[in-house]
Structure 1
Amino acid sequence: MRFNILLAITAIATSAAGLVVPATNDFDARGLDFQPDSTVVRREPMPEPTRDARHAEASRQHRQTTGLPPRRSTFHVPAAPTTGKHEHHYTGHEVRKAVFDGHMEHERLKTASNRQKKLSPLKAFGNRLHELAHPGGSSRPLPHMTVHPGSHSHPHGREFPLPNHHNPGTPGPARVITQKTPSGHHTFRGVIAHDQSRTPGAGHGYNDHFQVPERKPRRSAAGKFPSPCTVKILALHW
C-alpha cells in the first residue's frame, strides 16, 4: 500500500517537471485580431458651427441679397369674412427680417437631421401653376420669376413664412420668396399669400399662392420721405 502511494507521487512529480510554461515575451499574438502594440484611433466628430458662425454667414448672405423692399413699404393680405380669417399687414422691415431668418434657417439645416429638415419652415419654392387662377390674373404665383428645376441659372427659390400677428406661433398666410442667382447671391422675388376665402377641396385652389402687391412709402414734394417730425407737425397743423 505504502509502495503504491510512493509510485503515484513519483509519477505526478515527473509529469509536472515536463510541463513548460511559456514566458510572457515568448507569447505569439500574431494570430489574434488585436495586436498588443497597436493603437486605437478614435475619429472625433466634426464640430458643428456655432450660432455666432451661422449668424455671421446669414448676415453676409443678407447683405448680398438684392431687391429687398424699403423698410417703410407695406404688404396687405385681405381678410376673408366667409372663412373668418383676419387681414394681415406687413411692413418692409418685417419682410426683410423674414428674409434674414430664412438665411439663418438655411445655415442651421446644414447640420440638422432629416426629421428637423422635414419640420423646418424653410421650403423649396417652384412657382408652380395655379390649380385655380384668379380671373384675368397670372397663372403662377410670381409671374416674373422663372424656375427650371436642376438649373444653375434659375434654381428653385426659397419660401419662409411671415409671422401670424393674430395667432402667434402658428403659420400665417404669407411667405417671402428669394432665389439664388448664378453669381451665388440671392435676390428677393416678392411676397405671396393664400387666398383666405378659399376652403379645402378638390378644384378649389386652396393651396394656391398669389403675389401680395407692395405698396411703397409715399414721398414728399421734395422727393424724399417725410421725417417723423414733419408728419407730426403736419398733423398738428391740420
Structure 2
Amino acid sequence: MAGWNWELLGLDAEKRRGQALEVQLEAEKRRGQTLEVELDAERRRGQTLEAELDAERRRGQTLQAELEAERRRGQVLEAELEAERRRGQTLGSELDAERRRGQTLEAELDAERRRGQILEAELDAERSALGHILTLQERELGREVRLGVPQGALGGAFRRAGGHRVLLGALWGARGWLGWCEVPLGCQGGSLGAPETIQGRGAGVLGGSWDALGCHRVPLGGLLGCWGSSRVL
C-alpha cells in the first residue's frame, strides 16, 4: 500500500512536471510566435533597408554621373579660363602698344604745340614788322618828293632817281618797298629819269629780271616787282 502511494506521488509529480513543461512549451511557443513576428518585422525592415540601399546606390550612381559632368564642366571652364588668360595677355600687349602709341602721339602733339608756339611767335614778329612797315608807309604815303638815292637803295642797279612825282612808302632791305607810286620810267644805264617816258629795256630795271618795260605812269604797290593793276600800257 505504501508502495502504491509512492507511485501515486511520483505520478503526480510527473504530472505536475509535465504541466510545468507544457506551460513552458506554451511560453516557448508564444515566445517563438513573438520571435517569428519580430523576424517578420526584421525581414520587412531588411527589405526596407535593401530598398533604401538600392535607392542610395541609384543616388550614388546619379551623383557619380553629376560628378563626372561637373568634372567635364570644370575642364571646359579651365580651358575657357586659359583662353581668357591668353586673351588678357594679348589685350595687355595691345594696351602696352596703345600706351606707347599714345606716348608717341603725345610727344608729337607736344612737338606740334611747340612748333605752333614758334610759328605764333614768328607770326607775332611778322605782325609787328608789318605793323611797323605799315606805320612807316602811312607816315610816308601822300608825300611827293624828288629823290636822289645811292646805288642799292631801290634794287641794286639804279644810280639815281631823278623822278617825277615819286610816292615812296618805306624801304625794305636792299630792294626797297614802294608804296603807291606814279613812276615815269626810262632805261638809260638803269636810271629813273625823264618824266612820262614810254620806254624801258635792259636787265636789272626795277631790280628784277624783266627785259622790257613799256609803261606810262605805272602805279606800283607792295613788294618791289609786284605791279599794280591800273594805267599799265
TM-score exceeds 0.5: no
TM-score when scaled to structure 2?
0.28
Give 1 or 2: higher helix fraction: 2
* Structure with the greater alpha carbon radius of gyration: 2
TM-score when scaled to structure 1?
0.28
Give 1 or 2: higher strand fraction: 1
